[in-house]
Amino acid sequence: MLSDDAADQDASAEAFKLLALIANGRLRRRLTTVIDATNLRAVNRKRLHQAASRYGIPTVAIAFDLPVEVYMERNERRPDRVVDAEVVADQAERMTEAVTDLAGEGYAAVYLIREAELLDNVAVSRR
């Protein structure tokens, strides 16, 4: 929405501002709000969690805790754009810390996907 290039990292700051604005509006209206982002930094997760808490909305975290080789292979198969291998490796390394931290961040539930075989069959539904 902010750039004609999905790989344009210069648009990230504005993209996250827009995300926060949209998420806040949906949460205020008590609508199901899904944030599909890597969010490896605790401060970013905390900001989103606080926004939901402000409106009494429980939050759920879903994380992928897989070997770096799985991330690399899936990245190579992306139809729209491939992320640099160094970026994927860095994210995989930081994911280990993020997964450890999730349990203490106050989520209503934390789901960890640890089997690559499940990736193409995982579905999220609201009860």
Name the architecture of domain 9-117. 3-Layer(aba) Sandwich (3.40)
**Radius of gyration in angstroms for the set of CA atoms belonging to the chain, rounded to a whole number:** 15
* Confidence category of residue 127, pLDDT binned at 50, 70, 90: low
Which H, E and C letters describe 49-118, residue by residue? HHHHHHCCCCCEEEEECCCHHHHHHHHHCCCCCCCCHHHHHHHHHHHHHHHHHHCCCCCCEEEEECCHHH
Per-residue pLDDT tens digits for 97-109: 999 999 999 999 9
CA 32 to chain centre: 16
- Separation of alpha carbons 60 and 52, rounded Å: 10
**In degrees, to the nearest 5, what angle opens at C-alpha 122 toward C-alphas 119 and 124?**
145
Give pLDDT tens digits for 57-70.
999 999 999 999 99
Whether the Cβ atoms of residue 119 and residue 112 lie closer than 8 Å to each other:
no
- The owner of tokens 């810390």 is 97
Is the confidence at residue 5, as pLDDT, over 90? no
Comparison of pLDDT for 7 and 52, the residue scoring more: 52
Q: What is the pLDDT of residues 50-99, one digit of tens each?
A: 999 999 999 999 999 999 999 999 999 988 888 889 999 999 999 989 99
Cα–Cα dist 85/66, whole Å: 16
Question: From the CB of residue 31, how many other CB atoms can be counted at a distance below 10 Å?
Answer: 10
pLDDT (mean) for 38-49: 90
pLDDT given for residue 73 in this prediction: 95
